[in-house]
Amino acid sequence: MGKITISALDRMKSAGEKIAVITSYDASFTRQIEQAGIDVILVGDSLGMVIQGHESTLPVTVGDMVYHTANVMRVSEHAMVIADMPFMSHGTPEQALDTAGRLMKEGGAHMVKIEGGAPQLETVRHLTARAVPVCGHLGLMPQSIHQLGAYRVQGRGEHERERMLKDAVGLQQAGAQMLVLECVPAMLAAEITKALDIPVIGIGAGADTDGQVLVLYDMLGVTMQGTPSFVRDFLVETGNVQDALIAYVKAVKERTFPAAEHTFT
């Protein structure tokens, strides 16, 4: 099994083959994730909540992300690895380039992920023009939680829907090579996925995106603040971590996850 690249993910989108993505933050889980056949590992700033015990992702530092990305990369052989750009680490294109440089040179990431639409287009252009692969992130953006006021579905109103679609197209035009949609109505996510040439990965965004991502701890039922409604507990169904990971990949590939109960309208 060869290394997954962005070209391989593009081919999967074209062929209608679903892409299985999961978060990881350390070597031990990454080894099991790799053995389960995951396509993409996201070293998410969600580590601030599930690893560090913070109430949000905001306290996570670039140093934290470099450390955990390096942990993952030491044992990753197959999956493509994406690292989150943490809060306040990409306020200007120049700062973003410094952050991305650390995540890729010190951490070993293959791609970086940035939350935000129109305000991030200049930064995305700046990074991609300098050979930094970028994954965008729209919908519910945890780094904006204090602006949003709560973790809730995004894109239900007509204005929000139009803005998100415009932002998605803008990110692709700026050079982004992937996009994550979080907590978005299924019909809007399907519309965005169809409109873009790049792979679109959903989390709480219905079944019609090109792939799915879950936080590792959530899909194992290890949660501190309750299980989100778009999550399925694969560990309770299988009884051990390895089988849970294999079941998750199978469910994504065979389109049995997400089901209707994991979807927003």
Rg of the chain, C-alpha, whole Å: 17
Domain ranges across the chain: 6-258
Cα distances (angstroms) measured from residue 90 to each of 9, 112, 143, 249: 26, 11, 12, 32
- pLDDT (tens digit per residue) in 93-141: 999 999 999 999 999 999 999 999 999 999 999 999 999 999 999 998 8
Instruction: Catalogue the active-site residues.
Output: 182
pTM of the model: 0.95
CATH assignment of 6-258?
A: 3.20.20.60
Q: Where are the alpha helices (DSSP H) in the chain?
A: 6-15, 27-36, 47-50, 62-73, 93-105, 121-128, 145-148, 158-174, 186-195, 216-219, 234-238, 241-253
- How far, in Å, CA of 245 to CA of 164, rounded? 31
- pLDDT (tens digit per residue) in 177-215: 999 999 999 999 999 999 999 999 999 999 999 999 999
